[in-house]
Structures are given as C-alpha cells and as structure tokens.
Amino acid sequence: MTFAVEADQNHFVKTLFGIMPEICPCIAHMEPYEFRYAMNNIFPFDQDWSSLKIDSKSELEKRVHSTAFLESVQIKPKIAGQIVLDPGIVSLTNKLFVGLVSGDYDIPWVNSHFYFDPRGFNFLVRSTYVTSNIIQHLGGKPYRVFEPKQKRFERFFEVGYKDFKEANLEVDSLFIQSVLKLCQAKGTPMLLAIAGPTAAGKTEIVDRLREAFEQAGKKIAAIEMDNFLTDRDQREERGIGSFGKGALHFDAFRQCIEEILQGKAISTPRYDFITGTSSHDLNGHLKPGCSPVSIAPADIVFIEGNSPFLLPEIAPLVGVKVVYLTDDAIRLKRKWRRDIDFRKKYDPCYFRNRYFREQPLMAVKNYQPQLMACDVFVDTTGAAFWVTPEIRVSLDSVRP
C-alpha cells in the first residue's frame, strides 16, 4: 500500500471510530487500535473504501426489509472448509460504514433501521414486533410503565443474567403479581403459555413464577416446548426453522398437554441444545441411551416456547397467553455471553448468520401474530406491562 492510500485508510478508520459511539455506545470503551483490529475482520485495511458503491437510503431500506434478502442469508457458508460470515452481511456492514463516513447515511436513519453488534462487529436489521393493530388489541396504552433500565446495556459488550434480572425487576414483579391475580380470578388447573424469542428471559421468569406459586401453596409443572423439537439437522434440511407443527413432535406435544390438564403425569421428549438432537426419532420412539422428561400433575402448568398459542389445536387449552419480549440487540448480547462464551454452543459465524437471518423473519411470522392473540405482553426493554381490556378488568376486580 502506498503512503497516500494508507493515510486515506487511517483517516477513514479514525472518522468512523468517532461516529460509531453514537450508533453503538459501548464502542466508546474501545481504544482506537482495538477498533481497528475488530474492523479489519470485516473491512480489510487494504480495501479502498472510496471505491465502494453504496445504495440510496430508500433502495437500502427496501432491500434489507424484504423477505427475499433475509432468506438469502446463508447460515453455513464456507471458505476452505471453515464457516464464514455471509457475504450479504459483510456487504451491508461495509456499505453502512462507508455511508456514515461519507455522510450519505445520517446517524438517526441508521439507528432507526439497523443496530450494531460490538462482538460480531457487524450491523443487523431491526425487527418490528409491535404494530398499531397490536397496540389497539392491547387497549391502546400500557397497563403500567416503569423506568427502562435496560437502556444502560447499550454500553455493555455482553449482558449477564444478574444485570438482566435487576433491570427487569419492576416490570417482572408486576407481571408475577398479575398472574397470581388472574389465577385467582380464573381458577385452576390452568395452562399458562409464555412465548418469547431466544434469550428473552422466559426460563428465568418461569422459575420466578414457580417460586411465587409454590409460596401460595400451588403445585407447579412446566412443559418446555423446546423439548419437543426434532433434530436440528432434520429441521434445517427441511427448511422449517424452530417453530410450528413441522418442527415438533406435535402429536406427543398435544397429548401431553391434554393429559396433564386431566390431572395425569406425563413423559415428554428431551432436547439437547448442545448437540441439537432430540431424545426421540421422527416416529416418536425413544432413541437408545436417551431418557425422557417426567412431569407430575399440577394446579398451574407452564408452557414455555416461541409459538404455543399459534397452534389451533393448542390455543383453546391455554388459560392465559403471554408474550415475554426483549429487544433483539439486548438478547444478542445475552446470547454471546450465554451461548458462545459459556455454553460454547455455536460456531461464532454460524451464530451471527443465523441470528441476522431469523430474528426479523420470526418477528413478522411468529411474534406479531402472537402479540395479536395474547392476553398479556411484557416488554422488558421498554419496561412496559400491557394487557387486553378484558384482562385489565379481571386484574382490577381482584383485591390485593
């Protein structure tokens, strides 16, 4: 590289480093050489940034919010046998870098359509969960709003559960109190379905609800919908993702719910997230060396999963339908810490590709319909508790 080109590249990186904290506040905690190290993995230092052609804002908006663009992202592209970041993600990130430095893309516009992952060092497309129709379904305004304490996570590179729990304390406490009231109003046994995307905090809030019910003298059981997933490789081969009847041992799922609501003990499959395999084969038979999950009957039965009441055969059995949601950017920071750092669950590039591709698609195909069907919506990032008008009446009618 000539001195002039190197000086130009240095100017580009320095300018971008000054801009990025307004896109991703935790970048302010980096030293310039750290920023260069991270950037070089996605925008090589010998690349001529001024020659990279960028799209107009309207063209880029139209493209990245299209289903075709998201579905074109490869989960396991390989170079020399190694999984790499999808070229479309790399191209998008580079264009946004260049557009920010050139001034063609202003910061408010970028922030409204994209968010930046400081660990993966790439941009992702923002998902849309709440629409005007959903707001109308939930009575037009939240039942109650608290200070959004997840805001401070913008300065974190990853988020652990202790910090997450502390930030959600007020809205979670109201949710737990409200569920106790609804059980009092509706009676038991009752099926409580809690839907939410990966790393939204479903498992943890179910544990806290269980403690609250046990203190109230209720018998509790939990059915993890994920335990009914078929093998990951089989789902990916068929292109069916991680939700819907085709992804599940569905007959077993329905039978287990019906039986536990009849006061019977049940036995469910067991899913291993590390290996991505089920304890049962596609015919519903237990695999050699595997063991099912045994669940005793209870007063309150939780279904934890990402689509329990989108299934017509299951929805009528659910007493209270809940969507428990955390914004994509916060969940991504939770998943880096939980699934990559601690559980070593995924190849990092596979993880980045899959998250980029699936979250906006899941928001539209799965969570918008569930928000239109739910009774209760817990928005932990916005620290807002939403309920339908009917549930509001039930809550207000029960004495503390």
**HEC string for the chain:** CCHHHHHHHHHHHHHHHHHHHHCCHHHHHCCHHHHHHHHHCCCCCCCCHHHCCCCCHHHHHHHHCCHHHHHHCCCCCEECCEECCCHHHHHHHHHHHHHHHHCCCCHHHHHHHEEEECCCCEEEECCCCCCHHHHHHCCCCCCEECCCHHHHHHHCCCCCHHHHHHHCHHHHHHHHHHHHHHHHHHCCCEEEEEECCCCCCHHHHHHHHHHHHHHCCCCEEEEEHHHHECCHHHHHHHCCCCCCHHHECHHHHHHHHHHHHCCCCEEECCEECCCCEECECCCCCECCCCCCEEECCCCEEEEEECCCCCCCCCHHHCCEEEEEECCHHHHHHHHHHHHHHHCCCCCHHHHHHHHHHHHHHHHHHHHHHHHHHCCEEEECCCCEEEECHHHHHHHHHCCC
State whether 13 and 114 are in the same domain. Answer: yes
Q: What type of residue sits at position 398?
A: V
Domain-embedded: residue 374 = yes
Q: What type of residue sits at position 99?
A: G
Q: By residue range, what is the domain housing residue 52?
A: 3-125
Per the DSSP assignment, residues forming a β-bridge with 115 are: 124
Last residue of a domain, one of 125, 152, 180: 125
Last residue of a domain, one of 62, 91, 125: 125
Q: Looking at residue 3, what is its pLDDT? A: 41
State whether 116 and 137 are in the same domain. Answer: no
Burial 302-330 (b: 16+ CB within 10 A, else e): bbbbbbbbbbeebeebbbbbbbbbbbbbb
Q: Which two tokens stand for residue 127?
A: 């998902």
Last residue of a domain, one of 125, 155, 180: 125
Q: Looking at residue 2, what is its pLDDT? A: 45
Domain-embedded: residue 138 = yes
Cα 329 from Cα 114, distance rounded (Å): 10
State whether 120 and 190 are in the same domain. Answer: no
State whether 166 and 308 are in the same domain. Answer: yes
Return the CATH number at 328: 3.40.50
State whether 110 and 164 are in the same domain. Answer: no
Cα 173 from Cα 74, distance rounded (Å): 40
Domain-embedded: residue 282 = no
State whether 19 and 114 are in the same domain. Answer: yes
Domain-embedded: residue 240 = no
As averages over each run of 10 residues, the pLDDT of the chain (400 residues) reads 58 94 97 92 77 92 96 96 96 95 96 97 97 98 98 96 96 95 86 91 89 91 90 83 78 93 93 92 93 94 81 91 97 96 93 97 94 97 97 84
Q: Looking at residue 26, what is its pLDDT? A: 96
Q: What type of residue sits at position 352?
A: R
Q: Which two tokens stand for residue 328?
A: 């994509």
Domain-embedded: residue 87 = yes
Q: Which two tokens stand for residue 221?
A: 């059981």
Domain-embedded: residue 35 = yes
Rounded to the nearest 10°, the torsion over CA 157, 163, 164, 168 is: -140
Q: Looking at residue 1, what is its pLDDT? A: 41
pTM comes to 0.87
State whether 308 and 381 are in the same domain. Answer: yes
State whether 306 and 371 are in the same domain. Answer: yes
State whether 182 and 316 are in the same domain. Answer: yes
Domain-embedded: residue 285 = no
Instruction: Quote the number of domains for the chain.
Output: 2
Cα 190 from Cα 135, distance rounded (Å): 26
Cα 136 from Cα 289, distance rounded (Å): 50
Q: Looking at residue 225, what is its pLDDT? A: 87
State whether 99 and 24 are in the same domain. Answer: yes
State whether 214 and 325 are in the same domain. Answer: yes
State whether 111 and 146 are in the same domain. Answer: no
Domain-embedded: residue 271 = no
Q: Looking at residue 11, what is its pLDDT? A: 87
